[in-house]
Chain A
């Protein structure tokens, strides 16, 4: 079987789950597509998941109320063994990238990280993924009876729900005790359109000079365009912007129709998070800033002058 670990939020399967369902259907491997729902109080998630699968396995237990890498890896590996899965698909989220290596080790399986394509070629799983800070596309072949794959968010189209819901079964699991104890949580706030879903992203860097500058330039332009807001690591580290807005190697990867970089010089770590954008627009006072090397459109000039002028122009 193809085992797919469901990612969800607020009682519904996430877009990433629907994308993985597309990957599972399109890769040309036999076997039922089995969605595994792990959590506590996840009946509505399981119901939703049933519209994207051949069968749904549900582990609804209090011990699964909170994600833990060791607990998740143990659960997924047990199910994969029980069902003799030949392919295990896990979301390319932070948590998915964190526990998937453990699943691979437990199953003595190869691990493909952040796949953007997935095809079976005579029993061998072939996948493409990015390497060298997203500057290179590498194609790999995985051998053996089972492969573990994390799927890059946004790489596959989201599946449409089926008309008939699949059967649900309870999963039999023995779970380990988590050893990492969570003593506090800081949640992200997301008031506006999320970075992952936005067609337009306006992002700011050091060139905005201050938190107020960010508000007056980046947020104002994003509001005018109905765009999502992004920021560089430097601004997040400085406490000017929340981590949820960070774009780059250690933040989010985005692929909008247009990415508007305001006062961003373009460190390679930042570029690796946005260089797949359809169009890149840069406004920066330094004509030699690396961002201009990958920009489709840009203005060499003072963001404090240019952005207000752009907003005025857009209002016309």
Chain B
């Protein structure tokens, strides 16, 4: 049983966003393994630890050379080896899904984990697009997962609540926050991760090209009034706030 956990390296959520040369500036900023992808790495590790037969966890990233750091984080969490499909080219999510599917085929993977939503592209499409490329079934926004006799059982969120499900392997699973609590890499594991296999492959091997072209990027800055009141005197502060909402903002009657 081989599991592929797809990761992205993204801007740390606490970093401010700014534009440089028509794109979101990443140089010199703190970049991290996307939190949503950590749930996928963690879930794969848990299945391996729960004794899935001959289980191997492979972390895959598609991105520039620096993405190695995020892959090392996944290796430090416990992934067995990593693959970096290296490119500086702008891709779109459908092109990325084609690469993931090709890697999954050549690696003979049984289960793929993707983050539920990417913190850079805000895309939710990678899991489903990859599943379609492979003609596999999928579950998205998965909040609980177990594996027994080649069958996944679990729970996931849908339009109007949540569903319990069963799903045969091979399959694609996308994650969300409630799925698990990702482990922190320990120092010995961080050291070990440096020696684990990380294979680099050029994107050219996969013959993909994006169909979407980014033509404009703009940071959303909505001027806020920042009219903040000291609340030591609760009733005076409450009266002031209600007055502002009524007469300044006009949002309450």
Contact = CB atoms under 8 A, between A and B. Distances in A.
Interface of A: 67, 69-70, 73, 93-95, 97-102, 104-106, 109-114, 126, 128-144, 179-188, 199-200, 225, 233, 237, 243-244, 249-250, 257-258, 267-269, 275-276, 278-283, 285, 287, 292-302, 305-307, 309-310, 312-314
Given A141-B213, A200-B251, A310-B242, 14 more contacts: A70-B137, A94-B141, A101-B128, A111-B92, A133-B122, A137-B217, A137-B220, A182-B165, A186-B161, A258-B249, A268-B13, A278-B251, A298-B227, A306-B241
26 contacts: A95-B158, A101-B128, A102-B131, A110-B94, A113-B124, A131-B24, A131-B120, A134-B220, A135-B220, A137-B218, A137-B220, A181-B166, A186-B161, A250-B177, A267-B13, A279-B249, A292-B226, A297-B244, A297-B249, A298-B228, A299-B241, A300-B231, A305-B234, A310-B242, A313-B242, A314-B252
Contact of B132 (A67, A106, A287): A106
Nearest to A278: B251
B214 A136 contact: no
B173 to A, nearest CB: 11
Contact of A300 (B120, B124, B229, B244): B229
* Chain A, interface SS category: mixed
B215 A141 contact: yes
Given A98-B128, A136-B218, A310-B242, A250 B213 contact: no
B162 interface: yes
Contact of A105 (B97, B167, B235): B97
Interface of B: 11, 13-14, 17, 19, 24, 92-94, 97, 116-117, 119-129, 131-133, 137-141, 153, 157-168, 176-178, 210-220, 222, 224-232, 234-235, 237-239, 241-242, 244-245, 248-249, 251-252
Given A102-B128, A105-B129, A140 B161 contact: no
Contacts of B129: 101-102, 104-105, 111
A104 B160 CA distance: 24
A188 B249 CA distance: 33
B117 A250 contact: yes
Contact of A243 (B17, B121, B162, B213): B162
Contact of A237 (B177, B218, B244): B177
Contacts of B219: 135-137
A309 B160 CA distance: 35
Nearest to A74: B132
Contact of B228 (A104, A112, A292, A305): A292
A283 to B, nearest CB: 7
A179 B167 contact: yes
A281 B116 contact: no
Nearest to A188: B161
Contacts of A67: 158-159
Contacts of B176: 250
A109 B93 CA distance: 11
A250 B211 contact: no
Nearest to A70: B137
A130 B225 CA distance: 23
B229 A299 contact: yes
A12 B6 CA distance: 39
Contact of B162 (A186, A307, A309, A314): A186
Nearest to A139: B216
A130 to B, nearest CB: 6
A281 B218 CA distance: 25
